[in-house]
């Protein structure tokens, strides 16, 4: 691993919010990241289903890791999320972020959130501004 990759990995792994929710960065490469979260009772909403914010946070963590993986600070310009399926308590879900466009100071990412059977439960899209 290069010094830049080590530094990026250290910053990503020190995210206090992800630690609070239980989000783990499983894989990190340039323009790519994969995160995981096991849905527990404390992540449910008043309907008894996983809170959309928890699923969004998982996708956002993958987006942040992938977009900052070049070693340049990247900040979100816009994001959106489509929720497709519900999941149960105890399931581990995965978010996989892939860079789909990089031009100048902006980049675009698509994040697919899947359940343990690899069925897509949500899709997240985001753009970042890469600071010099």
CA 81 to CA 86: how far, in whole Å?
A: 14
Q: What is the pLDDT at residue 14?
A: 87
Provide the b/e sequence for 76-86 (b: ≥16 CB within 10 Å).
eeebebeeeee
Q: What is the pLDDT at residue 13?
A: 81
Q: What is the pLDDT at residue 114?
A: 98
Domains along the chain?
A: 3-130 (3.10.129.10)
Cβ(120)–Cβ(113) under 8 Å?
A: yes
Q: What is the pLDDT at residue 1?
A: 47
Q: What is the pLDDT at residue 54?
A: 96
CA 42 to CA 45: how far, in whole Å?
A: 8
**In the chain, which stretches have pLDDT less than 70?**
1-5
pTM (2 decimals)? 0.93
Q: What is the pLDDT at residue 127?
A: 98
């Amino acid at each position: 691993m290069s010094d830049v990759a080590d530094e990026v990995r250290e910053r990503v792994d020190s995210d206090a919010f992800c630690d609070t929710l239980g989000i783990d960065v499983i894989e990190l490469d340039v323009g790519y990241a994969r995160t995981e979260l096991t849905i527990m009772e404390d992540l449910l909403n008043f309907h008894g289903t996983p809170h959309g914010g928890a699923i969004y946070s998982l996708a956002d963590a993958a987006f942040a890791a992938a977009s900052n993986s070049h070693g340049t600070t990247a900040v979100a310009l816009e994001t959106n999320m489509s929720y497709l399926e519900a999941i149960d308590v105890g399931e581990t879900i995965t978010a996989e972020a892939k860079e789909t466009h990089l031009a100048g100071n902006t980049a675009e990412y698509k994040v697919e959130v899947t359940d343990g059977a690899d069925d897509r439960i949500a899709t997240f899209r985001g753009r970042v501004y890469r600071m010099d």
